[in-house]
Amino acid sequence: MGCTRMITAELESRPFGIDIETSQMSGGIFVSIVEPGSIAAQSGVVVGDQLLEVRRVFVFIYFLEEITYTNIY
């Protein structure tokens, strides 16, 4: 496992700029795409990063089906 980094980004009217996927073996939410020039890219997010917490909700063991726009986005 790699190092843990905290990335904080201010919410804006434009999208954060990532797509996510899950690991079917262990669960967890991972970054699959980072849009060039996006808030995510400017914040240092890279493909393969695992999301551990979003808006103070721990998501490190969630599956994609459990994540909805209403509870973390």
Ramachandran area for residue 41 (φ above 0: left; ψ -120 to 50: alpha; else beta): alpha
CATH number of the domain enclosing 67? 2.30.42.10
- Number of independent structural domains in the chain: 1
| Residue ranges making up the domain that contains 43 | 1-73
Question: How far is Cα 10 from Cα 66, in angstroms, rounded to an integer?
Answer: 24
Q: For the whole model, what pTM was predicted?
A: 0.72
Per residue in 5-62, pLDDT (tens digit) is: 788 777 677 888 999 888 777 677 889 999 999 989 998 999 999 888 877 777 776 6
Residue 22 in contact with residue 28, Cβ under 8 Å? yes
